[in-house]
C-alpha cells in the first residue's frame, strides 16, 4: 500500500513508471525542439557571426557591458524605491483609519491594473514636457517610475497578505499590553510579515530586472537597446539576442538562488528547536 500524504497518496509502481515515461518523452521532445531551432538558425550562428563577441573588445566595452550596467542600475534603483513605496502602501492598506485605507487601496489596485510599459511612457513624457529633465535622465526616470509604481503595488499586497497570515493572537497580545493598533502593526506584525515574505520579495527582483527591457521602447540604453544597435553594426541579430538572453538567464538564476537560500534559512530558523526548560526543583530538597 502506498504511503498517504497530506494532499495525495504516494505514487505506486505503475504511476512511477508512467511518470518516468512521461519525463523521458518530454526530454526527448525538448531536445528535438532545441535541435530543430539550432538547425533552423544554422545560417545565423555561423563562426563569422559569433566571432565578434571574441575578436572585437568594443562589443563588450562599448555595448554589452554599458547596457548591462544601465539595466542593473535601473533595476536596483527601482527595487529600492518600490520597496519603500510598497511598505508605505502596505501599512496604509492595513491602517485602521478608513480614509488612508481607501486611498492606499485605490492606488494599489490602479497601478496593479495599468501595464508597466504604459506607465513608463506616461512618466517619460511627463519628465520631457512637464518637468523638463535633462535628456540624459528622462528615459532612466521613466523606467524607474514605471517599475516603482507597479512593483510597489505588488510588494504592498505581499506585505498585506503576510500580515493577514500571522496568528491573531499576536495582535491581541499587543493590544492587551496597551499598544495601539498602529504600534501593533509597525512593531509586531510588520517585521514578521516582511521576514515571512522575504523570499517572495526577493523573487520580485527577477520581475523588476526583466521588465527593465521595456525601457528600450522609450530609448533607455539598457542591454536590449545596446544589443539592437550592436546587431545592426555587426549584422548578427539572432546571435546577439541569444547572448543577451543567456545573460538574463544567468543574472535571474543568481537572484532565484538567493531567494531559495533565504527561504531555506528562514525555514531552518523557524524549525530550530527551543532549548528545554530545566525541571522545577521541589522546595526543601537538596540540589545534587
User: What's the grid cell of residue 77?
Assistant: 534603483
The mean of the pLDDT values for the chain is 85
- Whether residue 175 is predicted with pLDDT greater than 60 in this model: the reply is yes
The DSSP line for 48-70 is HHHTHHHH-THIIIIIIHHHHHH
% of the chain exceeding 90 in pLDDT: 49
**What digits encode the pLDDT tens for the residues 136-151?**
899 999 999 999 999 9
- Model confidence at 281, pLDDT cuts 50, 70, 90, reads low
- Whether residue 191 is predicted with pLDDT greater than 70 in this model: the reply is yes
278 three-state secondary structure: coil
**What digits encode the pLDDT tens for the residues 9-57?**
677 788 888 989 999 999 999 999 988 988 888 888 888 888 999 998 9
Query: Can you give the pLDDT at residue 2?
Result: 44
**What digits encode the pLDDT tens for the residues 206-221?**
889 999 999 999 999 9
Picking from 230, 206, 216, 219, the residue whose alpha carbon sits closest to that of residue 154 is 206
Q: Using CA atoms, how far apart are residues 149 and 146, in angstroms rounded to an integer?
A: 6
- Whether residue 1 is predicted with pLDDT greater than 80 in this model: the reply is no
How distant, in Å, are the alpha carbons of 100, 189, 203 from that of 163? 17, 6, 19
How distant, in Å, are the alpha carbons of 25, 42, 203, 253 from that of 31? 10, 16, 28, 21
Q: Using CA atoms, how far apart are residues 200 and 263, in angstroms rounded to an integer?
A: 9
Query: Can you give the pLDDT at residue 25?
Result: 95
Picking from 86, 220, 210, the residue whose alpha carbon sits closest to that of residue 141 is 220
Within 8 A by CB and 6+ apart from 266, the residues are 195, 196, 198, 199
Q: Which domains does the chain have, with CATH numbers?
A: 49-166+174-268 (1.10.3720.10)
**What digits encode the pLDDT tens for the residues 93-116?**
988 889 999 999 999 999 999 999
Span 68-86, mean pLDDT? 94
Q: Please provide residue 9's backbone torsions phi and psi, each rounded to the nearest 5 degrees.
A: -75, 145
Amino acid at each position: 500500500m502506498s504511503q498517504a500524504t497530506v494532499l495525495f497518496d504516494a505514487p505506486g509502481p505503475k504511476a512511477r513508471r508512467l511518470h518516468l515515461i512521461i519525463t523521458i518523452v518530454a526530454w526527448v521532445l525538448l531536445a528535438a525542439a532545441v535541435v530543430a531551432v539550432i538547425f533552423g538558425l544554422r545560417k545565423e550562428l555561423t563562426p563569422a557571426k559569433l566571432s565578434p563577441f571574441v575578436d572585437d573588445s568594443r562589443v563588450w566595452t562599448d555595448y554589452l557591458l554599458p547596457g548591462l550596467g544601465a539595466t542593473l542600475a535601473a533595476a536596483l534603483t527601482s527595487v529600492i524605491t518600490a520597496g519603500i513605496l510598497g511598505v508605505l502602501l502596505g501599512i496604509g492598506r492595513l491602517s485602521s483609519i478608513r480614509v488612508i485605507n481607501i486611498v492606499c487601496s485605490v492606488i494599489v489596485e490602479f497601478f496593479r491594473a495599468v501595464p508597466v510599459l504604459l506607465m513608463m511612457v506616461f512618466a517619460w513624457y511627463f519628465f520631457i514636457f512637464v518637468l523638463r529633465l535633462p535628456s540624459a535622465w528622462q528615459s532612466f526616470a521613466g523606467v524607474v517610475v514605471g517599475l516603482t509604481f507597479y512593483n510597489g503595488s505588488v510588494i504592498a499586497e505581499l506585505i498585506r497578505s503576510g500580515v493577514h497570515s500571522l496568528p491573531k493572537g499576536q495582535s491581541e497580545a499587543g493590544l492587551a499590553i496597551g499598544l495601539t493598533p498602529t504600534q501593533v502593526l509597525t512593531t509586531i506584525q510588520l517585521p514578521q510579515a516582511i521576514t515571512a515574505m522575504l523570499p517572495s520579495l526577493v523573487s520580485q527582483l527577477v520581475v523588476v530586472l526583466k521588465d527593465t527591457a521595456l525601457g528600450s521602447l522609450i530609448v533607455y540604453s539598457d542591454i536590449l537597446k545596446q544589443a539592437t544597435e550592436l546587431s545592426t553594426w555587426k549584422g548578427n541579430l539572432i546571435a546577439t539576442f541569444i547572448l543577451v538572453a543567456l545573460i538574463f538567464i544567468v543574472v535571474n538564476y543568481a537572484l532565484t538562488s538567493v531567494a531559495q537560500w533565504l527561504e531555506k534559512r528562514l525555514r531552518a530558523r523557524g524549525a530550530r528547536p527551543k532549548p528545554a526548560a530545566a525541571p522545577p526543583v521541589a522546595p526543601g530538597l537538596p540540589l545534587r
